[in-house]
Structure 1
């Protein structure tokens, strides 16, 4: 689900808490070593995720926030901020020439540049959190 979160959005707050759980407590954030990524450079958005006034020439950035039952991808366009809620059971991650996140037939692709390399440990933490939540022990290496 995509929400415009440029301003306080009560529907977003309620829906994200229902679907993904409440934000982690300060102690849990410290134990996890942080729950937010640095910024990624967006290379492509699926048509349904593109805002109507999408700026095509500007470099758009995104960051990812971990929640107990999923993730939230926050990205900007001009002065607007959007948040895409993805529960773990719908999250699919591809790591090929680009790094991409897919859910419900929508996707967001990120450039594999210095920003991606800085976030590599976060991406591993996100995948581990998904596997742990879904109890997918057979993916352990």
Structure 2
């Protein structure tokens, strides 16, 4: 689900928390070695996201936040911040090239590029966390 997360809104916060869980407590964040990705450069995106990104002439970047039941991909357009909220059971992640990753959910996708080893370590952490927290049955959703 693609949401405008620029402003504090109880309804949007509730939707996000229901979909991917509440943010990790500070102690768990330290234990995990951080829950956020380095800066990722967007090379390609689905039509709805692309239409938001072309509204300004800034460099298209995003970052990813880990949550207990999913991830949030955040990016900026004009003066607004948007979040693509992806539960783990809908997340598809592909490594297209040496430094290009594709993040898919339903009809939304974002392809990101980064050459750093920190990004590769983050995606490894993301895949490991996803494997540990995928629902095992329909009742777990």
TM-score bin, normalised by smaller chain: 0.7 to 0.9
| Aligned counterparts, 1:114-133, within 5 A | 114=116, 117-133=117-133
Structure 1 match to 2:85: 85
Moved more, 127-136 or 14-23: 127-136
Which residue in the other structure is 2:22 paired with?
Answer: 22
Q: Does 1:107 align with 2:106?
A: no
Distance 2:53 2:39 in 1: 22
Give the TM-score of the pair, scaled to structure 1: 0.86
Q: Is the alpha carbon distance of 1:56 and 1:30 closer, same or farther for their aligned partners in structure 2, counting shifts above 3 Å?
A: same
Shift of 1:101: 0.2
Aligned equivalents of 1:11, 1:43: Cα separation in 2: 31
Gaps of 5+ in 2: 137-141
Closer, same or farther: CA 113–77 of 1 in aligned 2, 3 Å: farther
Pairwise CA distance, 1:52: 4.6
1:93-113 CA deviation, whole Å, 9 max, x = no partner? Answer: 010222110011210001243
Q: Secondary structure at the match of 1:50?
A: helix
Unaligned 5+ segments in structure 1 are 137-141
